[in-house]
Amino acid sequence: MSYSDDPVLDAQRHYDAAHAYEERVLEAELQMSTEFMKLALRGDAGAIADFAPPVLDFSKGVSNVRNVPRRVPRLHECIREAVDSLDNEQELMQLLLNAANGMDVRADATLLLSQCAAKFAETNVDEDEFLIEDDESTDGAEE
């Protein structure tokens, strides 16, 4: 972003750029969360979560950490990661117990999955991807 001699204009441009960045990040989080829920509501925990960032695949018994291949995670791995970061293990266990006792837990399970989807997206969207070093739309306007 180029700067002018007008500090108010510079501040406004900085604010606009920061706001645009935040909007891009929120949109990406919403997109990832939506994809998470679409896949979760299909009901296949082993489904490939192609919306998620790649994970290290240690299943091949790699001896050198630098050579560990990456793979696309499965939905159950994404759910586990989100549940771990939500810190609601008791709620999850109660949901499981309620289901085992024949209670209708669909609404609670959907709510928990939506919380997982939001938390997974919040922690996995690469915010650096949305940084813009130079706003090209303002560069040529001042010259």
Q: What are the pLDDT digits (tens) for 68-87?
A: 888 999 999 999 999 998 88
Q: What are the pLDDT digits (tens) for 93-131?
A: 999 999 999 999 999 999 999 999 999 999 999 888 877
Residue whose C-alpha is closest to residue 123's, from 86, 74, 73: 86
The Cα–Cα gap between 107 and 56 comes to 34
Residue 140 resides in a domain? no
Cα 41 from chain centre: 17
Q: Do residues 78 and 53 touch, judged by C-beta distance below 8 A?
A: no
Residue 66 resides in a domain? yes
The Cα–Cα gap between 143 and 5 comes to 13
Name the 3-class secondary structure at 80.
helix
Residue 143 resides in a domain? no
The Cα–Cα gap between 101 and 98 comes to 5
Percentage of residues in the chain having pLDDT higher than 70: 87
In the block, tokens 């604010």 appear at: 15
The structure's pTM equals 0.77
Beta-strand (E) ranges in the chain?
55-56, 70-71
Residue 119 resides in a domain? yes
Give the number of domains in the chain.
1
In the block, tokens 């082993």 appear at: 46
- The residue segments making up the domain with residue 76 are 7-135
Residue 16 resides in a domain? yes
